[in-house]
């Protein structure tokens, strides 16, 4: 029970945020049950659950990305830009090199990690060596990454046969199987027509790997030490600079999973603006899980379902836009961020009654 | 060339309001990365109220109230709920990015933009008699939108308030030595709240400028990172109003140059437009990293005060 206690507060925050959103929806003239209906569809239909898992997959990666940086005392708002650079690197490899499957898939993943890691490392370098604040640097790098991505789509590997700006299709050997295909092999019909794919398993694996790295390796200890107390780390010969850069490189490399899920698993091409703010939602995912990699699996699923639910609502109602999930996230972040004061007030109340 | 300088002033205006607003917030000791969100909400409400009342003054008032309210949320979270200042800023930015399209769809059944405001209901350039007749300079400096004049005066006013008045002393003390302020009987929390609110009001003028002076409607995410560029200008100006003025003019110039280059035929034929679009951000980044030298933030920024 005690181990579950730290999760209680974020969970309450989520519930309160849902409640406030329901109030907003009712005030906007919507029926009060719409939120429940959309969540029912999300959790209790193959279609809804498949999409919820598909949306959760990238959120695991971006959540981990934000969490690794946060463990080093850094705030990574740049996951959005990093995942685009990772996508460009991946697409470049997967549309240019015709390779057999056992080579193709690891190489493409490695290329994506290199791209994302480079973009993250750039922010880390500027922070560590130049002392620029990482929040502003990563935000600016995001805008530059959007432009670079647009440029790459239009000039490096554009598909000339379609009107919309999107890349050529990647070669067959780079494509990952869908979960519905896998289950069809054993004669089951699960998640049919949904894009959830094997990247989901990579995501779970990554969460455990990051957990192992942070809590069971020397490097991970150093990263956390710098986040915990940079001055003390310095006196113990732990380099603040090196670990800042390392944490940002890892954070960037982790966003490669988003590219793998979207391009190798689902679309098989790079489409302009495909990310529905996965990078920014990662902040809420990490915060809710208190930067615990295993907890991120659950909070990513929560936000993935939430994203699917708001999408359903957009279909069901004339009034709702998918940005409703931003409002929910903001409410939740605000609630979790003011945790200490709220719990102080509550415990003071409790004592008075005794 | 003159058009370039003219549009430089116009594009610097929202940056100036946000940066000087940010000056008051940050110097009081509170990290404020939610300038972006404050601008966005005020831009929206200004556009909507102007559209319905056909009066830009009422629109400005609505923008001020909304922006002040948005910044108060940040202030409440940071000062009274003792939330992490960066995290709270992210929450406010997210809220703004969510609320504005959400409400816009409820009002106008489209999340992307509000209906255009008729040209006679918007603010217009005011030519200052005599001065505007000076050749060249007159058109650039003395025939502008009303808020542009205000934005250019603002850094001087902020300088005067911060360094020459009793209230300015409190502002600087709240940011650099809150314990000292408290031991002399000042109320740190109240001081910070008041200056955050004032900063929010100034910042929201920048938002209203975007939607009812510079253009004629609200569009989704119309601030496009200007809140962060303003923050970079503030850092580049070493958290002082007058150098910040020049930083804002510089970034405004980069932006107007970018827009100009996009339509320059000799360039667009041989040079991808995406790189031109990225230049303001790239220049901001380079300036932030390369030419900055030592920029010392207010001493107690980011730390909570119990």
Instruction: Provide the domain count of chain A.
Output: 1
Which CATH number goes with the domain that contains A290?
Answer: 1.10.3470
pLDDT at A332: 84
Task: Give the mutation candidate from B94, B261, B273, B286 for the A interface (greatest A CB count, under 10 A).
Answer: B94
pLDDT of residue A353 exceeding 60, the answer is no
Residue A30 reports pLDDT greater than 80: no
Q: Is the pLDDT of residue A2 over 70?
A: no
For A304-324, what is each residue's pLDDT tens digit? 998 898 888 888 877 778 788
What mean pLDDT comes out for the span B168-193?
84
Q: How confident is the model at residue A339 (pLDDT cuts 50, 70, 90)?
A: confident
Q: A residues 23-82 near B, CB within 8 Å?
A: 24, 28-29, 75, 77
In a domain, A352, yes or no: no
Whether pLDDT at B149 is above 80: yes
Residue A296 forms part of a structural domain: yes
Q: Which CATH number goes with the domain that contains B76?
A: 1.10.3470
Of the listed ranges A60-69, A271-280, B56-65, B287-296, the least confidently predicted one is B287-296
Strongest mean pLDDT among A153-157, B3-7, B59-63, B113-117: B59-63
Confidence (pLDDT) at A354: 46
Query: According to the per-residue pLDDT averaged within each range, which of A92-96, A179-183, A284-288, B170-174 is highest?
Result: A92-96
**For every residue of chain A, which 3-state class applies, written as one string?**
CCCCHHHHHHHHHHHHHHHHHHHHHHHCCCCCCHHHHHHHHHHHCHHHHHHHHHHHHHHHHHHHHHHHHHHCCCCCCCHHHHHHHHHHHHHHHHHHCCCCHHHHHHHHHHHHHHHHHHHHHHHHHHHHHHCCCHHHHHHHHHHHHHHHHHHHHHHHCECCCCCCCEECCCCHHHCCCEHHHHHHHCCCCCCCCCCCECHHHHHHHHHHHHHHHHHHCHHHHHHHHHHHCHHHHHHCCCCHHHHHHHHHHHHHHHCHHHHHHHHHHHHCCCECCCCCCHHHHHHHHHHHCCCCHHHHHHHHHHHHHHHHHHHHHHHHCCCCCCCHHHHHHHHHHHHHHCHHHHHHHHHHHHHHHC
Q: Which residue has the higher pLDDT, A351 or A43?
A: A43
pLDDT of B239 reads: 87
Whether residue B126 lies inside any domain: the answer is no
Q: Do B285 and A144 touch (CB under 8 A)?
A: yes
Residues in chain B with CB shorter than 8 Å from the CB of A77 are: 90
A212 and chain B in contact, CB less than 8 A: no
Range of the domain at A79: 7-343
A74-78, A87-91, A265-269, B1-5 — which is least confidently predicted?
Answer: B1-5
Q: Do A338 and B95 touch (CB under 8 A)?
A: no
Mean pLDDT of all residues in B236-257? 87
pLDDT band with cut points at 50, 70 and 90 for residue A11: confident
Boundaries of domain holding B81: 2-117+148-290
Is residue A200 included in any domain, yes or no? Answer: yes
pLDDT at B165 over 50: yes
Which residues of A fall within a CB distance of 8 Å from B288? 132, 136-137, 140
Query: Number of structural domains, chain B?
Result: 1
pLDDT above 80 for B187: yes
Residue A86, pLDDT > 90, answer: yes
User: B249 lies in a domain?
Assistant: yes
Task: For residue B294, give the chain A residue with the closest CA.
Answer: A131
Query: Is the per-residue pLDDT at B96 higher than 90?
Result: yes
Residue B150 has pLDDT above 80, yes or no: yes
Cβ distance A280 to A213 under 8 Å? no
Q: What percent of chain A has pLDDT over 70?
A: 96
Indicate the residue of A144, A155, A342 with minimum beta-carbon distance to B278.
A144
pLDDT category of residue A327 using cuts at 50, 70 and 90: confident
Would A348 be classed as within a structural domain? no
């Amino acid at each position: 029970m005690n181990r579950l206690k730290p999760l209680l507060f974020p969970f309450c925050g989520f519930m309160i945020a849902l409640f406030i959103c329901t109030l907003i929806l009712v005030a906007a003239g919507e029926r009060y049950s719409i939120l429940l209906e959309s969540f029912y569809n999300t959790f209790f239909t193959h279609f809804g659950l498949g999409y919820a898992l598909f949306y959760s997959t990238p959120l695991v990666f971006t959540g981990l990305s934000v969490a690794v940086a946060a463990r080093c005392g850094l705030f990574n708002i740049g996951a959005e830009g990093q995942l685009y650079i990772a996508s460009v690197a991946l697409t470049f490899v997967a549309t240019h090199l015709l390779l057999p499957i056992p080579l193709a898939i690891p190489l493409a993943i490695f290329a994506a990690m290199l791209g994302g890691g480079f973009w993250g490392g750039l922010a880390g370098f500027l922070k560590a060596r130049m002392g620029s604040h990482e929040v502003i640097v990563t935000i600016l790098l995001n805008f530059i990454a959007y432009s670079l991505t647009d440029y790459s789509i239009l000039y490096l590997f554009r598909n000339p046969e379609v009107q919309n700006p999107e890349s050529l299709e990647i070669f067959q050997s780079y494509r990952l199987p869908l979960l519905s295909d896998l289950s069809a092999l054993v004669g089951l019909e699960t998640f049919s027509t949904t894009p959830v794919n094997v990247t989901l398993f990579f995501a779970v694996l990554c969460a455990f790997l990051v957990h192992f790295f942070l809590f069971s390796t020397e490097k991970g200890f150093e990263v956390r030490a710098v986040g915990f107390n940079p001055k003390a780390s310095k006196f113990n010969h732990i380099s603040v600079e090196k670990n800042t850069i390392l944490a940002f490189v890892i954070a960037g490399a982790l966003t490669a999973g988003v590219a793998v899920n979207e391009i190798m698993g689902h679309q098989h091409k790079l489409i302009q603006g495909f990310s529905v703010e996965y990078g920014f939602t990662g902040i809420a995912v990490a915060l809710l899980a208190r930067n615990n990699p295993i907890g991120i699996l659950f909070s990513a699923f929560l936000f993935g379902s939430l994203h699917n639910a708001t999408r359903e609502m957009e279909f069901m109602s004339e009034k709702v836009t998918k940005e409703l999930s931003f409002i929910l996230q903001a409410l939740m972040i605000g609630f979790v961020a003011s945790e200490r004061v709220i719990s102080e007030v509550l415990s003071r109340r409790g004592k008075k009654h005794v | 060339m003159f058009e370039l300088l003219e549009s430089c002033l116009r594009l610097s205006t929202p940056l100036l309001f946000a940066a000087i607003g940010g000056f008051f917030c940050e110097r009081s000791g509170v990290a404020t990365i939610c300038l972006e969100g404050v601008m966005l909400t005020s831009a929206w409400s200004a556009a909507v109220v102007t559209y319905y009342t056909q009066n830009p003054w009422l629109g400005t008032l609505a923008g001020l109230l909304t922006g002040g309210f948005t910044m108060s949320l940040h202030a409440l979270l940071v000062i009274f709920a003792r939330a992490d200042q960066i995290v709270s800023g992210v929450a406010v930015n997210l809220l703004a990015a969510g609320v504005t399209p959400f409400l816009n769809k409820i009002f106008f059944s489209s999340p992307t933009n509000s209906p255009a405001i008729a040209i006679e209901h918007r603010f217009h350039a005011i030519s200052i008699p005599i001065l505007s007749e000076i050749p060249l300079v007159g058109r650039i400096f003395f025939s502008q939108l009303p808020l542009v004049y205000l934005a250019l005066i603002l850094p001087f006013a902020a300088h005067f308030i911060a360094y020459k008045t009793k209230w300015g002393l409190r502002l600087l003390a709240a940011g650099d030595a809150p314990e000292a302020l408290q031991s002399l009987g000042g109320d740190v929390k109240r001081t910070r709240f008041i200056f955050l609110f004032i900063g929010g009001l100034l910042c929201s003028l920048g938002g209203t400028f975007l939607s009812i002076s510079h253009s004629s409607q609200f569009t989704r995410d119309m601030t496009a990172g200007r809140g962060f560029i303003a923050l970079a200008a503030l850092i580049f100006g070493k958290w002082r109003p007058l150098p910040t003025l020049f930083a804002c003019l510089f970034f405004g110039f980069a932006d107007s140059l970018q827009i100009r280059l996009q339509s320059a035929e000799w360039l667009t034929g041989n040079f991808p437009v995406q790189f031109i679009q990225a230049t303001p951000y790239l220049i901001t980044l380079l300036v932030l990293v390369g030419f900055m030298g030592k920029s010392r933030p207010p001493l107690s920024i980011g730390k909570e005060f119990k």
